[in-house]
Every structure is written in C-alpha cells, then in structure tokens.
C-alpha cells in the first residue's frame, strides 16, 4: 500500500491546520471571504482589541493566507484563496448532519 501524498504535503497541511485551529483566525478568514476589510472593520466585527486582531492577521499574512492593500493610512486584508476555508464549512456540515456528533460538546477533553 502507498500513501496517497508525499510526506511534504502532510507536513505543509499540518502547518496550515495549526494556523486554522484558532477560532478567531477562522472567523477572520470567513469574514473576508468575499470582501476585503481593514483592521478597524475586523475589530468591530470580532469585538476584540486592535492589537489582538493585528497579531492574528500577521500570522495569516506570514502563512500567505491573506494579502494586503494599502490605501493611505489604512491597510485592507483579503483572503488569497477562498478555498482555504472550505474545511470550516465542511466540518460544520458534518457535525450538523451527524447526530452522534453533538455540536455543544468540546472534543478537547477527549483527546487531550
């Protein structure tokens, strides 16, 4: 039996999954899926401090998941490829459609 992908694919995917494992970063990516947004706009949507949002955006930018555009003093963020958030939608559908996966139960305790 052969692995479907080379090892470097699994390594790169694991790096991206680590970044996507944060709910704030997932919300940022889903928020800018169709429309770019400034840090201030994201602060308003996320109800977080500007410094916190900026740190998450820096991580997403470093991973090349978001790109920026400067307009005067403002920097606008956009998602590079909307397909990156498809796992979020797919997992949401899975736990909504699967009665054995209650949406209110945290899986952290089971796998910690």
- Is 79 exposed, middle or buried, given 0-12, 13-18 or 19+ CB atoms closer than 10 A? buried
65: Cβ contacts below 8 Å, ≥ 6 apart = 16, 19, 29, 79, 80, 81, 84
Instruction: Return the CATH architecture of domain 7-81.
Output: Orthogonal Bundle (1.10)
Count CB atoms within 10 A of the CB of residue 29: 22
Q: How far apart are CA 69 and CA 1, in angstroms?
A: 47
The owner of tokens 């390594």 is 11
Residuewise pLDDT in 10s, the chain (112 residues):
999 999 999 999 999 999 999 999 999 999 999 999 999 999 999 999 999 999 999 999 999 999 999 999 999 999 999 899 888 888 888 888 887 756 565 655 554 4
Q: Three-state SS for 96?
A: helix
End-to-end CA distance of the chain: 31
Task: Give the pair of three-digit tokens for residue 59.
Answer: 């991580």
Domain limits, the chain: 7-81
């Amino acid at each position: 039996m052969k692995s479907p992908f080379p090892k470097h694919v699994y390594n790169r995917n694991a790096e991206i999954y680590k970044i996507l494992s944060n709910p704030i970063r997932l919300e940022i990516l889903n928020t800018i899926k169709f429309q770019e947004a400034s840090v201030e706009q994201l602060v308003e949507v996320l109800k977080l401090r500007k410094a916190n949002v900026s740190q998450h955006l820096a991580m997403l930018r470093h991973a090349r998941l978001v790109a920026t555009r400067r307009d005067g003093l403002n920097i606008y963020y956009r998602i590079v490829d909307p397909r990156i958030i498809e796992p979020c939608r797919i997992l949401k559908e899975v736990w909504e459609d699967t009665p054995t996966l209650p949406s209110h139960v945290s899986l952290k305790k089971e796998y910690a």
